[in-house]
Structure 1
Amino acid sequence: MHQRAGLALLALALPLLAPQLAHAAPAEKCLQHPLTAVPGLTSVGASGAAPAGRFVVGTGERTDGQRSVVRWHDGVPTQLGVTGDWALAIDASDDGQILITTNAANLRYRDGSAEQLPTPAGYADARLSAIDNAHGLAVGYATDANGQNGHGVVWSATNQPRVLPVPAGFNHAIANDIDDDGTVVGIIQDWDWENAGVRAQEAVIWRPDGTVALLPKSGSYPEAAAVRNGIAVGTDAGQAVRWDLTTGAPATPIAPGKATALNDRGDVLIDTNAAITGQGLRPLEQKDPGGASGIAPAAITNTRQLYGTDGYTNQPVRWNCS
C-alpha cells in the first residue's frame, strides 16, 4: 500500500545527480523535529501529509491494543475516532480529506465523519493508495479473496468505484498514485500464482480516460510510485528515476535507491534521502547514532518538509529540507 500532493504549472525537471567526489563536503542533512505528542497513545507514527503540509496523518496504539487514526492540523493533533486492529491513515488533501484503511473497511474522512468506499462488484477486497488534491479522487486497487488478480480502482468524489483495465498478458495490477488531472501510475504484473513468482512487470500510467500505457524501462521490474504535474517517479534497474509523461522519453536516473514520493516542485523522496531540485541528494537526520533503528519517511510536502517516523525515538517526526 503503501501511502501521497496544478496542471497550470510547468513540471520542474530534476537534474541528474552526479556522484560526490571523495574530497567533497558531505551533503547537508535535513534536520529532524518531533511532532506534537498525542495523549493516550503509544507507538505513534506519521504516514501521510497533504501537499501544503497543514494536514499530517498517522496512527497510534491505545491501551486496549487498537490502532487510532490521528490528524495533525497546523501541528495540533486530534484523534479522529477511527480505530481498528489494522487502522492506517493513507493520505490527505489540502481540503482536509483523509483516506483510511481498517481491517473492516476503506474510508474517506471529511467534514467530521467517515464514509465507506465500496469494494467494486466482483472483488473481495480493496486497498487505498492516494488521493488527488484537486477533485478528491481516491485511487487504490481491488483483488479477489486470495489477494490476487488485482485491478486498479479510482473512486469518485462521491465514492463510486471505477475499475481500470489490465492489458492482455498480465493478470495483476497495483495503482500507486493519482495526479490532479486523474492520471494514475503503478505497475502491472504477470504472476505465476501457483509458484508464487512474478514472470514480468511493467511500470504504467492509466490516462484520465482509463486507457493504459507502458512507461519506458531499462530493467526487468520497473515501478512507477508517484506522479505530480505530468512527472512520474519510481524505480528502474536499482535507480530512482523520473519519467516525463508529456514526452514519453526514456526515464532519467536520479540516484541509486527507490523513489517513493514526489512534490509539486519536483523534489523526490528516495529511501532515507531527499533529492531537492537544485540542491542534490540530502540525507534525512536519524537520531540513532549507529543507524540501526532506522527511519521511515512517508511523505514530502510542497514546503520541503518530510513526515514519517524515527525508529530510535519511536515517535512521529518532521524533517526540514527547506
Structure 2
Amino acid sequence: MESGEIRQLASDSVLTYAPGELRVLSVVPEESPNGSIEQMFDIEREAGDVILLDNLWRFQTLEPNVLLLDQWQVTLNDRQSRMNATMPGQVNTYRTTFTMTQELIERLQSPSGRGLPDQSNNNSSPKIEFILDDVEQKIPSHIGFLQRRRNLEIFVNGVRQNALQPSTWQDQHYASVDITPHLLAGENELEILTVSLLEPMPAISFPAFLIGPFVIEDRMRLNASPEHMFGCWATAGYPYYAGAGEYSQQVDLTQVSLAPDEELWLEAEDIRETASLYVNDMEVGIRLWPPYHWDITPYVEQGSNWITIRAANTLENLYGKTALPSGMNGRVKLVRRTLSKRL
C-alpha cells in the first residue's frame, strides 16, 4: 500500500509481513495459454554491507516553531494598567514573561536573518509573532473611538502593539501581530488588556502562542535555532511544534560500487510519525508507518549524495500540550542487499 508496488504471485506463494505492513490482494481467475499457471520466481534480498549515517543532521522546520503561553498572571479591574482605567470602563490585565538571548535578537535584526535556518519556507525576514485564538478586536462604541481604545490591547515591554491581523499560521481564524521590533535581549513582558466600556468584557479563553525561528530552552527561554540537530526535535527545543521537519546530510558513496544483482537500501530505525525520502532532490517514496525502508538504488550516484528525510508528526504536540517523540528517533543506515531468486 505505502510503496505502490504491484507484483504477480504464483499459486504457491507465501506472504510475509513486517509489523504494521498492509497489502491488498486481488484474486482474478486467469489461465495461461498452456492451460496451467506459469511458475514464478520469488525475489529474496540478503543483507550485506552496512553504512551507518552520522547522527548529526542539518535540520529545519517547514513552519515557525511555537511557544505555548497558557499560564498568565491576571489582575481583574486593574487600576494600575497601562490604559487609563478611570471610569467609564474597566480593564483586566493578563501578564506573562519570557526570555530571549542576545544571539536570537541579533539574528532577527540582521538583514534577512542571515545565518538563520528558514523555518517559514519563504524568503521573508524572520520575525516573532504573537497569536491569539477566538478574539475579536474592535473599537467599542463612540467612547472607545474618542479615547482611541480597542476592546483588546497588546503591550510588549510597555509598548502598545498594532492591531491584530488574520494569521497565516495553522488556521485563518487565528489573529496575529508582529512584535519583533519591541523585543529585547533578556526578560520581556507581554500583556493583554481587555477593556470594557459599555459592552461585555472580552475574555481570553484559549492558550496564546509565540511563533518564530527559535528553539525553546528551560521552558520560557528562546534562543536562535541551530543549523544541526541530533534526533528527536521534541527534546531539542521544539516540544510544541506540529508539522514537518527536514533532516539532511551529505553522504559520500565514492567507495560504494553495486553489482548488477545488488541494491542499496536506506533504513531508519524509527520516525515519528510519517516520512518522505529525497535523494539528490528526487523523491524516493513516502512511508506512513514502519518499516521506514527505501530502495535508493536508482537515485544514488558514485561520489557525493544529498539525503533528506522529511518527517511529520501530529497536532497532539501543539493542541494536546504533550511533547511526544517527533521526527528522527534512532539510527539511519545504508544497507547493500544482494538479490537472489527462489522457486
Q: State which structure, 1 or 2, has the greater radius of gyration over its C-alpha atoms.
A: 2
Q: Give the number of the structure with larger relative contact order, counting CA–CA contacts within 8 Å between residues 6 or more apart.
A: 2
Name the structure where helix makes up a greater proportion of residues: 2
| Both proteins in one fold, TM over 0.5 | no
Please report the TM-score for the alignment, with normalisation by the length of structure 2.
0.21
